Amino acid sequence: MSEKQYGLHALVVEDERICALIMVEVFRMLGISATIAKSAPEALSVLESSRVDLITLDIRIEGDMDGWELAARIRDSGQCYASVPIVAVTTCCFADDFERSSALGIDRHVAKPFHIDQMKKVITQLLDEPTAVKDL
């Protein structure tokens, strides 16, 4: 597999270290660089200072702001990152969780654990650049 990078960058918002590292590795396998934010305030700081093409977030991140609140703040920010695609990658997978995500502007809701092909499909659809992601 080629190690060519495509210039895409993801923000992984995840407070569980192993989950964050797995997500970063999945992005690496897809040719996408990634930054980890362990909290909502850290994620907002990254968004203010960096270009991000895709955000993955855990709904149950620790701290004063959970993933749903973070998604709402991103969407309501009026900043250039307000329209960046958001994927909830979470264990919150009841019907009302999916409905709440949709109502808050989260573009996709992916259950943990996920398969790499599933994540590749989600990323490709959201970025609308099918050639931007390496074939596995």
The parts of the chain modelled with pLDDT lower than 50 are: 1-5, 130-136
Total domains present in the chain: 1
Residue 134 lies in a domain: no
Residue 4 lies in a domain: no
Model confidence pLDDT, tens digit, residues 31-58: 899 999 999 999 999 999 999 999 999 9
Q: Could you give the percent of the chain with pLDDT greater than 70?
A: 89
DSSP alpha helix (H) spans, 5-115: 17-29, 40-49, 67-76, 95-103
Which token pair is 47?
A: 């968004």
Output the pLDDT for position 6. 60
Question: Which CATH number is 99's domain given?
Answer: 3.40.50.2300
Output the pLDDT for position 14. 96
Q: Return d(Cα 43, Cα 93) in angstroms, integer.
A: 23
Output the pLDDT for position 2. 32
Domain span holding position 99: 9-126
Residue 45 lies in a domain: yes
Residue 52 lies in a domain: yes
Q: Are 30 and 123 in contact (CB under 8 A)?
A: yes
Residue 131 lies in a domain: no
In which region does residue 110 sit, left (phi positive, over 0), alpha (psi from -120 to 50) or beta (all else)? beta
